[in-house]
Amino acid sequence: MDRIRIVGGPALVGRIPISGAKNAALPLMIASLLTDETLILDNMPRLADVAMLKRILGNHGCEVTVEGKRAGQDEFLGETVRLTASEIVDTTAPYDLVSKMRASFWVIGPLLARMGEATVSLPGGCAIGTRPVDFFLDGLKALGVKLEIDRGYVIAKAPGGLKGGRVVFPKVSVGATHVMLMAASLAKGETVIENAAREPEIVDLAECLVKMGAKIEGAGTSTIVITGVDRLHGARHSVLPDRIETGTYAIAVAMAGGDVVLEGARRDLLDAAFDVLVEAGAEVTQLNDGVRVTRNGHGIAPVNVVTAPYPGFPTDLQAQLMALTAKAKGSSTITETIFENRFMHVQELARLGARIHLDGDTATIEGVDRLTGAPVMATDLRASVSLVIAGLVAEGETMVNRVYHLDRGFERLEAKLSRCGALIERVSG
């Protein structure tokens, strides 16, 4: 099993290309099931989750092809993927596939919209806490879907097709908003989604669906109105840059110090997180070709943060920020409001010398002068990269185990960091 070895010390100087957003790429790929024509997606990241979803979509009859690289292309340039679901050959998403990636549950929306039926395995547990599918199911019921759960499978039927309705989420859910956007695009009549997620990835999916012929208004606000159409057609769409990858590398620069341009990044997708980084002592500047992040000669100031749905501070950057505050000049607090059990990285950061106290959903971090390298274990995707960030400044060697978590959401992380001077490498076996 691969590991990541880091020797702390060097500042980061150079350029890091930002990949397409994983959290946009996955629903965009699933949207290909809504049409019998080809959907072309540019700037696709090369990630384990994307590879797994290609396999899952193939199970439903979707043909997936990837354009080969051309001579002279940048090694980090995103892929172009063509997805053609000319015929849905199977409306069942089995447990052995859905259990490997929760987002694959989202196929229930397009399958119902196009075929009038779907049998999809419940996704099961999650390392960072429960992510109930009740919001998904209640939303589909509002569109006239008949549901039953049998032996761990959701059996959903809409023999007369989906019908527009009013969907009110009791709590903001990105996944449920994705599913309802896709399902309602082919429903008869108008659907109104209230308390919808406002994330940029929701807007990206909506823009792609509009290119495919959907009628959607209000994406990016808490109320989205979809007027169903009879059919969708093929389209071409470029995946927006990954704001979580952007924020992760920005935090890495704030931690290690230095001067890095995050190529292709957009500050407007991550204002809340960048505001916190500025408060912590970094400088952030939007350029024509990306975002420049610097921290030279100044210590890290403590911050107090509460995670929240977009446009608040993202839960997906909470672990990375905690690593940064471990070296702050004072006491910081981070309150996690989105997922329970998302503090599993605390014990591993403590192995490097971090001083963190947990009280319910709030972590208090007392900054220390030095961290010391040690073997650590990744517990999930974001936790694993927080250990890398801490390792960038820890004295001596840090070895991060279970890096398959990293490969789910970060494309060639060690290559991107090492090109900016970090002493980091992947160790096989």
The conformation of residue 308, written as its DSSP 8-state character, comes to -
Phi and psi at 160, nearest 5°, equal -95, 10
Residue type, 139: G
| Residue 172 marked ligand-binding | yes
Q: What amino acid is encoded at 265 in this protein?
A: A
CA angle 295, 74, 269 (to 5 degrees): 50
Annotated catalytic residues are: 126
| Range 59-87 burial, b when 16+ CB lie within 10 A, else e | ebebebeeeeeeeeeeebebbbbbbbbee
Is there a binding annotation on residue 338? yes
DSSP-assigned letters across all residues of 350-382: HHTT-EEEEETTEEEEE--S--B--EEE--SHH
| CB distance 352 to 372 below 8 Å | yes
Place of tokens 């606000």: 221
- From the centroid of its chain, how far is CA 297? 32
CA gap 250, 248 in Å, rounded: 5
Question: How far is it, in rounded angstroms, from Cα 182 to Cα 192?
Answer: 13
Q: What is the rounded CA–CA span in Å between residue 172 and residue 375?
A: 37
Find out whether 316 is annotated in a ligand binding site: yes
Does residue 307 contact residue 336 with C-beta atoms inside 8 Å?
Answer: yes
Other beta carbons within 10 angstroms of residue 103's beta carbon come to: 21
Q: Is 22 known as a binding-site position?
A: yes
Residue ranges of the annotated binding site for phosphoenolpyruvate are 22-23
| Residues in the annotated binding site for UDP-N-acetyl-alpha-D-glucosamine | 102, 171-174, 316, 338
> Can you say which residues are annotated as belonging to the binding site?
22-23, 102, 171-174, 316, 338
